[in-house]
Amino acid sequence: MKDHHLHTDEAQKAKDLAALDRQLRDKAVSLDDYLDENEWKQYLDSGNAGRNKDIPGDSYRPVYNASVRKTRRAQLLYKGVGVILLLCICGGAFFFLANNHQPAPSLAFDHTNTTAGPQRIQLPDGSAVVLQPKSELHYAGDYNVTARDIQLTGDAEFRI
Amino acid at 111: H
Q: Return the SS3 of 100.
A: coil
Backbone phi, psi, residue 40, to 5°: -65, -45
Strand partners, 138: 110, 151
Q: Which pLDDT tens digits describe the chain residue by residue (160 residues)?
A: 445 555 677 888 888 877 876 776 666 555 556 666 677 677 666 665 555 544 555 556 666 666 666 667 778 888 999 999 999 999 888 888 877 666 555 678 889 999 999 999 998 888 899 999 999 999 888 887 778 888 999 999 998 8
Angle at the Cα of 26 from the Cα atoms of 24 and 29, rounded to 5 degrees? 75
Reduced to 3 states, what is the DSSP secondary structure of residue 46?
helix
Closest CA to 141 of 102, 110, 100, 101: 110
Task: With H, G, I as helix, E, B as strand and everything else as coil, classify residue 158.
Answer: strand
